[in-house]
Chain A
Amino acid sequence: MAESLTVSIGPHIKDSLTTKKIMWAVTISLLPAGMAGVFIFGLNALLVTVAAVAAALATEFVILSARKKDTSAVWDGSAVLTGLLLAYNLPPQVPLWMPIAGSIFAIAFGKQVFGGLGHNIFNPALAGRAFLMISWPVYMTTWQKPRWAPDTVTGATPLACYKNLEGVLAKCPSNWDLFIGNRGGCIGEVCVAALIIGAAYLLIRRYITWHIPLTYIGVVAFMSWAFNGTSGLFSGDALFFVLGGGLILGAFFMATDYVTSPLSARGKVIFGIGCGVLTFLIRKFAGYPEGVSYSILMMNAATPLIDRYALPKWFGYVSSQRPLKTREKRKKEGAA
């Protein structure tokens, strides 16, 4: 028999999951929120989203060609995801050159200068948003109200409303409005209900774990409840602060970005807590009403450090440090 057998090191079977599948799954999970955004804010929101995605793809293609890399990697879903997330973090009525400029910056300086996918320190979409925020702050802080609101030109986001009115929550949108998206804000962040559908999909299919979102949202909720009330400690409306800004979008879809968050479960918990504390501090004490994107960026910078110190101890590590015990000995000790 003429033999031509393939020889390789195991395992000889592999999971069918690929990087591409993950990226597209996250993209799909973001679609409900985008559709809700377009429904709430109208056609311009759609144009902004399309422009951001197209510019991200084009930039990725140009840079990959220039770096003499395989250009089919454009379709691995990561550039689409970056463009989409950037658009979701923009107000709906910005001029169309803004998402394009943001996407170019996000891909070129947020991702490719570091060596492309897997090597970037900061979440590219958030880097793009930070760039736009610093360069054109007026565009980035002018908000459109939902299409059906009587005064359709501009309005404030719920968090800005809270900040400007110095804590009189009654005049701001109700929590139910916040949940279904009847308020001003960025394209992708407004409809919490749609975001939760996408997030549930990611969690159930195990594309993301609970560690970062739960600790992040938990810390923000607790600190807002404890320190952001009008009548002393533990009187804040936690739900308002959880739903009112970009926290749901940030916690489930951006803080969980694999590349820029820690590897281990313990690291992820530290990361989530850090994001939560920073978000609260920025919201409470800084000039900006919202702090989700900056706090995630800051924790991105801390990720290599967290990874270094929060690695799990390997199996058998602790027991090698203590004298070995048999079951009888343990039982005796337990009885004593």
Chain B
Amino acid sequence: MHYGFHGGIHPSVHKTLASDRPAKKALIPKKVIIPVLQHTGSPAEPVVAPGTIVRVGDVIARPTGYVSASIHASISGKVMRTIHSPTRIQPRALSIVIEREEGLNQEWESRPPRDVNAMSPEELVAVIKEAGIVGMGGAVFPTHVKLSPPKNKPIDAVILNGVECEPYLACDARLMIEKTNQILKGLDIILKIVGAKEGYIAIEDNKQPAIYVMEKALRARAERTPPKIAKLQPKIKVVALRTKYPQGAEKQVIKAILNREVPSGGLPMDVGCIVQNVATAFAIYEAVNFSKPLIERIVTLTGECMREPINVWVRIGTMLPDLIEYVGGFIKEPAKVVVGGPMMGVAQYTMNIPVTKGFSGALFMPKESVNIEQESVCIRCGRCVEACPMRLVPTVLMYRVKKDNFAEAKELGITNCYECGACAYACPAKIPLLDYMKYGKSKVISF
């Protein structure tokens, strides 16, 4: 039972193959290139000199402000130098190059587990900060900041986002199947930190296996817990949401589960809730229990160019070409490489980019799947209006932006657009509506 939201589209999902097979174990590449800015906020500052030998999990860059995150070595080896290298969103990002040193242990040496129950929320947040955890759904906002809402904004609900509404991507779906209990424990930790009484795990109803294992794990927990203790614990529920893009957008998932609308310009904490990606919850679990920093993540490699769509664990900083070779190479030359899903992902101009913390997947499209359509005139069919999850009117905004009428575009709420691209997907005239939205927003904000 859930409330739903206005708008949305139904692209075909292309997920089954990748989520049905176990995720492949991580490759230990010869070389990693680790950018110091993999999060929203200020870049971390390198703290290792060239020539230093680092081990898996060593801090190689320290945060420079509150909204910043630590960066850790993902392989054991020698720090070579710092370079400027392209990433999925930056053309020149300061990065640390580490080359693998033979003879060193390349696995994370687990520390003795902590007693989580004995830790205070502040201690937990400190551990999460130390581990360099950021939101792994793609927005990469430092998690310790998100978990420290101001005192006047009480949080009563935490939503774990396993919706994964982007077509093609299946890493969250796989993670939920493989790390079910760890994710639930991660949710326990988040609930404890913010003191919320309700936890929800949001999953789109096309991921029945994930829903099944999550519900099973919850039932097993309920059987283990004596009713007296269960009463005191936060209530956790799995919510199967309708398959619809962008169901996984923060505002839409809150609306669908809690029927609360995050106010325009506000944050989820303004309506008393926090949304975390399931991959983030898993990282939190590992950090809190075993002090394991964020050095690897699960990534979907998919698209018609791949021999087989696959989920794979990847050490942060692994270069994309190395990864492709590791999973078996291409069957077709890709003409477009999109990092993220096909809706909101970023098309890359080069494949020589490292996997970073917010790198949820890569989509390799052959020439014939690349859309190059002639834009025609708007026939006012209203499909963009129907599709917009923020109830904006993209075609009207498009005309305002075309005419440089940014004042009116602002009055019509253009800043509420979070660039999901549903309007441009739905447009039968193939108008690049999202391009107009982005341009208009940049102009409105720079006023």
Contacts and interface: CB of A to CB of B under 8 A. Distances in A.
B321 A5 contact: no
B345 interface: yes
Nearest to A211: B382
Contacts of A151: none
A13 B251 contact: no
A33 B295 CA distance: 66
B156 A328 contact: yes
A320 B424 CA distance: 27
B350 A116 contact: no
A11 B347 contact: no
A320 B395 CA distance: 25
A327 B156 contact: yes
A95 interface: no
A332 B382 CA distance: 41
A314 B412 CA distance: 9
A3 B379 contact: no
A12 B363 contact: yes
Nearest to B348: A5
A75 interface: no
Contacts of B422: 11
B381 interface: yes
A315 B345 contact: no
A316 B262 contact: yes
A258 B383 CA distance: 10
A15 B271 CA distance: 34
Contacts of A116: 377
A19 B428 contact: yes
Interface residues of B, number: 78
Interface stretch (A137-145, A157-165, A169-177, A305-313): A305-313
Nearest to A17: B428
A21 B156 CA distance: 49
B266 A13 contact: no
A7 B334 CA distance: 12
B385 A118 contact: no
B167 A264 contact: no
B154 interface: yes
A136 to B, nearest CB: 31
B342 A315 contact: no
A117 B428 contact: no
Nearest to B154: A326
Contact of B261 (A209, A265, A315, A327): A315
Given A21-B428, A317-B413, A5 B381 contact: no
B24 interface: no
A19 B376 contact: yes
A6 B335 contact: yes
Given A15-B428, A258-B382, A315-B390, A5 B347 contact: yes
B379 A118 contact: yes
Nearest to B373: A14
B347 A118 contact: no
B379 A263 contact: no
Contact of B378 (A8, A118, A265, A314): A118
Looking at chain A's contact residues, the main secondary structure is loop
Given A5-B336, A12-B345, A320 B392 contact: no
A314 B391 contact: yes
A134 interface: no
A22 B381 contact: yes
B272 A326 contact: yes
Contact of B343 (A13, A259, A316): A13
A12 B378 contact: no
Contact of B416 (A4, A315, A327, A328): A315
Contacts of B425: 11, 13-15
A231 interface: no
A327 to B, nearest CB: 5
A326 B258 CA distance: 11
B31 to A, nearest CB: 17
A22 B258 CA distance: 37
Nearest to B264: A316
A311 B411 CA distance: 12
B393 A312 contact: yes
A315 B265 CA distance: 10
A5 B428 contact: no
A316 B416 contact: yes
B412 A311 contact: yes
A11 B421 contact: yes
A305 B412 CA distance: 15
Interface stretch (B201-209, B234-242, B429-437): B429-437
Contacts of B427: 14-15
Interface in A230-276: 258-259, 261, 263-265, 268
Nearest to A268: B382
A315 B4 CA distance: 13
19 contacts: A3-B349, A5-B351, A6-B347, A9-B432, A11-B422, A12-B347, A13-B342, A15-B428, A18-B429, A76-B376, A118-B377, A258-B379, A268-B382, A312-B385, A314-B416, A320-B266, A324-B272, A326-B154, A328-B156
Closest 4 CB pairs of A and B: A11-B421, A320-B263, A118-B377, A326-B272
Given A5-B334, A6-B372, A10-B434, 16 more contacts: A1-B321, A10-B343, A11-B342, A14-B425, A14-B430, A15-B9, A17-B426, A118-B429, A259-B379, A312-B6, A315-B261, A316-B262, A317-B264, A320-B263, A327-B156, A327-B157
